[in-house]
Chain A
Amino acid sequence: MKHLLLALCAAFAPLPALADTASALDDLILPGFDKFESATAKLSAASQESCLPADVDAPYQSAFDAWMQIADLHMGPSETRALSIAFWPDARGFTPKSLSAMIADKDPVISDPEAFMDVSIAARGLYALDMLLNDPRFSDYTQEDYTCGLVRAIAFDLHHQAAALQSEWRENFAKTLSRAGGSGNATYLSADEATRALYTQIVSGLEFTADTRLGSPLGTFERPRPKRAEAWRSGRSLRNSLLAVQAAYELAQVLANQPLPETSLAMDKVTEAASHIQDPSFQDISDLQARLRVEVLQQTVRDVKEAIETEVGKPLGIAPGFNSQDGD
């Protein structure tokens, strides 16, 4: 989980007043959780109507789009919930293993929403759905099959999680962030710590996109790993990366509350690089030209990160974490 690796913090320069935590919450983050809640409500309802991949796909895609707006916020209630909603990368192949086991056993847990919350996080959330709806090992089910009930249970649970996340952010964590430095706030001991925490999410998210969303399928030159692309079965790999970068950019804009010309130019180059990519699932990257195009995209994402560090991080006086960067 590379995006968790980087906790940027620890520097002591006072932050300029323009850093805008309240707007970040009110204009972007909290509405993002609202949208994810309503998108997953639709997905769950649709799956009750018909659980078949062809019928669930559109609301599934919309829910995933909504998720990408908030996917890289790994703070507060999202610190762990981000994983039970989006269990990826899955180096150990937990998701197919867990799903296969449930299907083989016809695990009755799918008829008990309460108990389903204790199912392995690898068998919950968007990536479990991605596999059931799109992987030929699973997707060939009918309305009468166990898998149909499993899809419904996952969709129901996903909406339940989205609603919990929405309320945990709205009722609790937003206050922890906006009341940073208040008495008894042991998470953020000053206002600038909250700003730093949000900034960290931006930078970590961009690193995760470059290193993992794009880096994992690239693998090495000798050994590309197309099956390690994110949500490749549903054709979302490129889209997820672009939505994640866009979300990071928007958060940087609202947090900085001032024009970010360099970052804006870097964003244009991301769009340009993405327009050359032919397979949105990166399944063609064993081809040298195709690989090169993803590498170029990866570089443009890193350039966005650098531009944000220059235009947002430096003015805020934010330096890498003292202990998290160190290791001992």
Chain B
Amino acid sequence: MATRRAFLASFLAATAAPGLSWAAAGNPAYLAAAREADGGFALFGIGRDGQDCFRVPLPARGHAGAGHPSQPIAVAFARRPGEFALVINCATGRVTHQITPPEGSHFNGHGVFDTEGDLLFTCEQRAADSEGFIGIWNARDGYERIGEMRSQGIGPHDLRLLSDGETLVVANGGIATDPETRDKLNLDDMHPNLTYLFSGSGAVVEQVTLKPELAQNSIRHLALTPDDTVAFAMQWEGDAGMAPPLLGLHRRGDAPVLAEAPLGDEFAMDGYAGSVSFSGDGSSVAITSPKGGRVHRFATTGEFLGAVSRSDVCGLARHRSGFIASDGLGGLIHIEGSQTRPLARQKRAWDNHIVELDQGHRPT
């Protein structure tokens, strides 16, 4: 803790500007980007009832967002290869900062604020060799870049901060891509991993890899329980007939547990998980496959619980004691056990992810 405090103190201004709270942006529970009916793009704040709380136009298709823990600030990342991310005041709709990765690097999907909202961590990769980095930005004052650390893998895509507030867990997807075309360059020689990093120094705390026959299973998206069980969702880059598991669960110090559905269900996912989330009550975990049009639910011990069918479903987050799923048809679906219920349908295509705003810091 001392290390991190010292690290912060050396960079951050002593006082934070008194900010607005998320109430000023209509008390959204979630952030999600979408393509609108007219072909334009926007970031939305969404309430627990599935209705819009705010809408901010985006200049291009977004991928994921990060929500500030207390202030109505969202960071919207451009699609890979991300040339920029926009820091948006969701109460005013104003873009307050545009942040760009260092020359020769690009953002690679996701980012996350630290517990207090002082720092923003971003997944980045070096264009030349797809080497992964975590960018560190001063979110308290001006979004200056104040550091970086190696992600300890190729093509990091998603990251989360553990409950200690200082350990990052990073999904290094393992796929080297052409910076211009996004063509995948190393599918026969992938080494994805799940890496825990000390955010203050970039030191590796723990690194998890799967057995060699699953090396083509790109570890891409993460979800976390309050007590730091990590769920990682994967995308299979190997032979289409393999139907490998697409969800893993990990606790620090333990071996990873792979969650596998019956073969017929696994095939129906088409080797692709787009998002992962624990349920609101923490008793289950689910992955989505837009390619298969399915949501697979598992117990936190890895047993398959069931499937939900929904075309082009991709975004997934906690909702009440279950889940909320978003899709390319504009639907928001509430999933509670094996029961599903439509929450809303808008004339827009929800993008890959729906990001829950941090409960603990959100005014109720």
Of the stretches A78-86, A239-247, A272-280, A294-302, the one at the interface is A78-86
- One digit per residue, 1 when the CB lies within 8 angstroms of any chain B CB and 0 when it does not, for chain A 219-253 equals 00000000000000000000000000000000000
A80 to B292, CA, bound (A): 11
Nearest B residue (CB) for A90: B241
Answer yes or no: A157 CB below 8 A from chain B CBs. Answer: no
In the complex, the answer to whether B342 meets A324 with C-beta atoms within 8 Å is: no
Chain B, interface size category, equals 35 or more
Tell me which residues across on chain B come within 8 A of A197, comparing CB atoms.
311
- One digit per residue, 1 when the CB lies within 8 angstroms of any chain A CB and 0 when it does not, for chain B 310-338 equals 11111000000000000111110110000
Task: List B residues 221-269 near A (Cβ within 8 Å).
Answer: 235, 239-242, 262-265, 267-268
In the complex, the answer to whether B340 meets A186 with C-beta atoms within 8 Å is: yes
* B160 CB, min distance to chain A CBs, angstroms: 17
In the complex, the answer to whether A91 meets B291 with C-beta atoms within 8 Å is: no
A287 to B290, CA, bound (A): 40
A322 to B329, CA, bound (A): 8
* A7 CB, min distance to chain B CBs, angstroms: 5
Which of A83, A186, A327 has its CB near the most chain B CB atoms (within 10 A)?
A186
- A79: which of B109, B309, B330 is its contact (CB, 8 Å)? B309
Which of A76, A184, A200, A328 has its CB near the most chain B CB atoms (within 10 A)?
A328
Tell me which residues across on chain B come within 8 A of A255, comparing CB atoms.
none
In the complex, the answer to whether B312 meets A323 with C-beta atoms within 8 Å is: yes
* B297 CB, min distance to chain A CBs, angstroms: 14
Nearest B residue (CB) for A85: B264
Which of B241, B267, B312, B333 has its CB near the most chain A CB atoms (within 10 A)?
B312
A92 to B313, CA, bound (A): 29
Answer yes or no: B145 CB below 8 A from chain A CBs. Answer: no
In the complex, the answer to whether A4 meets B331 with C-beta atoms within 8 Å is: no
Answer yes or no: B55 CB below 8 A from chain A CBs. Answer: no
Answer yes or no: B153 CB below 8 A from chain A CBs. Answer: no
- One digit per residue, 1 when the CB lies within 8 angstroms of any chain A CB and 0 when it does not, for chain B 264-285 equals 1101101010100000000000
Task: List A residues 180-201 near B (Cβ within 8 Å).
Answer: 184-187, 189-190, 193, 196-197, 200
Answer yes or no: B87 CB below 8 A from chain A CBs. Answer: no
In the complex, the answer to whether B268 meets A79 with C-beta atoms within 8 Å is: yes
Tell me which residues across on chain A come within 8 A of B106, comparing CB atoms.
none
* A174 CB, min distance to chain B CBs, angstroms: 15
Tell me which residues across on chain A come within 8 A of B307, comparing CB atoms.
79-80
Task: List A residues 64-120 near B (Cβ within 8 Å).
Answer: 74-76, 79-81, 83-84, 89-92, 120
Per DSSP, chain A at the interface is: loop
Tell me which residues across on chain A come within 8 A of B327, comparing CB atoms.
323
Nearest B residue (CB) for A11: B349
Answer yes or no: A2 CB below 8 A from chain B CBs. Answer: yes
- One digit per residue, 1 when the CB lies within 8 angstroms of any chain B CB and 0 when it does not, for chain A 1-14 equals 11011010110100
In the complex, the answer to whether A120 meets B263 with C-beta atoms within 8 Å is: yes
In the complex, the answer to whether A91 meets B242 with C-beta atoms within 8 Å is: yes
Tell me which residues across on chain A come within 8 A of B310, comparing CB atoms.
186-187
Tell me which residues across on chain B come within 8 A of A84, comparing CB atoms.
264
Which of A75, A187, A323, A326 has its CB near the most chain B CB atoms (within 10 A)?
A323
* A81-B264, A186-B340, A328-B352 known; A5+B311 contact, CB < 8 A: no
Answer yes or no: B294 CB below 8 A from chain A CBs. Answer: yes
In the complex, the answer to whether B328 meets A184 with C-beta atoms within 8 Å is: no
* B327 CB, min distance to chain A CBs, angstroms: 7
Answer yes or no: B126 CB below 8 A from chain A CBs. Answer: no
Tell me which residues across on chain B come within 8 A of A2, comparing CB atoms.
240
In the complex, the answer to whether A10 meets B240 with C-beta atoms within 8 Å is: no
A321 to B288, CA, bound (A): 14
Answer yes or no: A122 CB below 8 A from chain B CBs. Answer: yes
A197 to B331, CA, bound (A): 14
In the complex, the answer to whether B333 meets A186 with C-beta atoms within 8 Å is: yes
Answer yes or no: B68 CB below 8 A from chain A CBs. Answer: no
In the complex, the answer to whether B63 meets A328 with C-beta atoms within 8 Å is: yes
Tell me which residues across on chain A come within 8 A of B37, comparing CB atoms.
12
* A186-B333, A323-B351 known; A10+B312 contact, CB < 8 A: yes
Query: Other than the known A80-B267, A92-B239, A187-B310, what 16 A-B pairs have Cβ atoms closer than 8 Å?
Result: A9-B312, A9-B329, A12-B330, A79-B268, A79-B309, A189-B342, A189-B345, A193-B329, A321-B311, A322-B35, A322-B350, A323-B312, A323-B352, A324-B293, A326-B290, A327-B291
